[in-house]
Amino acid sequence: MPAISAEKLQKAYSSIWGKRVSPAQSASNGSQTNALTGLTLEVREGETFGFLGPNGAGKTTTILLLLNLIRPTSGSVELFGRPATDFAVHRRLGYLPESVNLHDYYTGRGLLEFYAGLLEVPISGRKARIADLLQLLRLEDAAEKRVSKYSKGMLQRLGFAQAMLHDPDLLILDEPTASLDPVGRKEFRDILLELKRRGKTIFISSHILSEVETVCDRVAILEKGELKKVGTLQELSSSTSTRLFLRNVPGTVLEALSKMPAEVTMISGHVTIKCADAGTRAAVEELLRQYNIQPDKSEVETQSLENIFFSSIAPPPKL
Partner 1 sequence: MNVIFLIARDSIRALLHQRLLIALILVSLGLTVVSTIIMNFQRRQINDEFLDGADMNSPAFKNMSEEDKRRMQETMEQSMSTIEAFFYAAGSFGGSLVSLFIFSTAVTSEIRRGTIRLTLSKPISRIQYLLGKYLGGVVVMAAYAIIASLAMVVFSASSHVELSPVMKWAPWLMFCRQLMLGSLAMLLSLFVHPAIAGALAFFAGNGFYSVHNPLYYVLPSYAPFNIFFQILQGAFVDGHDVALLTLYAMDFVILMLLLSWWRFQRKEVC
How many CA atoms are closer than 13 Å to the CA of 216, on its beta-carbon side? 26
For partner 1, which stretch binds (CB under 8 A), given 97-105, 207-215, 238-246, 296-304? 97-105
Between 133 and 219, whose beta carbon lies closer to partner 1?
133
CA 76, CA 187: separation in Å to the nearest integer?
35
User: CB 162: neighbour CB atoms within 10 A?
Assistant: 23
For partner 1, which stretch binds (CB under 8 A), given 114-122, 197-205, 233-241, 307-315? 114-122
- CB distance 58 to 35 below 8 Å: yes
Smallest separation, CB 172 to partner 1 (Å): 8
For partner 1, which stretch binds (CB under 8 A), given 85-93, 189-197, 240-248, 280-288? 85-93
Strand, helix or coil for residue 17 = coil
CA 10, CA 40: separation in Å to the nearest integer?
10
Counting residues that bind partner 1 (by CB under 8 A) gives 29
Smallest separation, CB 69 to partner 1 (Å): 5
99 touches partner 1 by CB under 8 A: yes
Between 71 and 152, whose beta carbon lies closer to partner 1?
71
Among 27, 118, 183, 300, binds partner 1 (CB under 8 A): 118
114 touches partner 1 by CB under 8 A: yes
Smallest separation, CB 243 to partner 1 (Å): 47
How many CA atoms are closer than 13 Å to the CA of 43, on its beta-carbon side? 30
Among 4, 39, 67, 171, binds partner 1 (CB under 8 A): 67
83 touches partner 1 by CB under 8 A: no
> What sign does the CA torsion over 179, 181, 185, 187 have?
negative
Q: Is 123 exposed, middle or buried (0-12, 13-18, 19+ CB in 10 A)?
A: exposed
CA 219, CA 59: separation in Å to the nearest integer?
13
For partner 1, which stretch binds (CB under 8 A), given 60-68, 256-264, 287-295, 298-306? 60-68
For partner 1, which stretch binds (CB under 8 A), given 26-34, 109-117, 264-272, 274-282? 109-117
Between 103 and 152, whose beta carbon lies closer to partner 1?
103
Q: Which residues contact 36 (CB under 8 A, 6 or more apart)?
A: 9, 10, 11, 58, 61, 62, 65, 72, 225
Q: How far is CA 203 from CA 145, 196, 206, 220, in A?
A: 30, 11, 10, 10
What is the contact surface with partner 1 in residues (CB under 8 A)? 18, 64, 67-71, 87-91, 93, 95, 97, 99, 101-103, 105-106, 114-115, 117-120, 159, 162
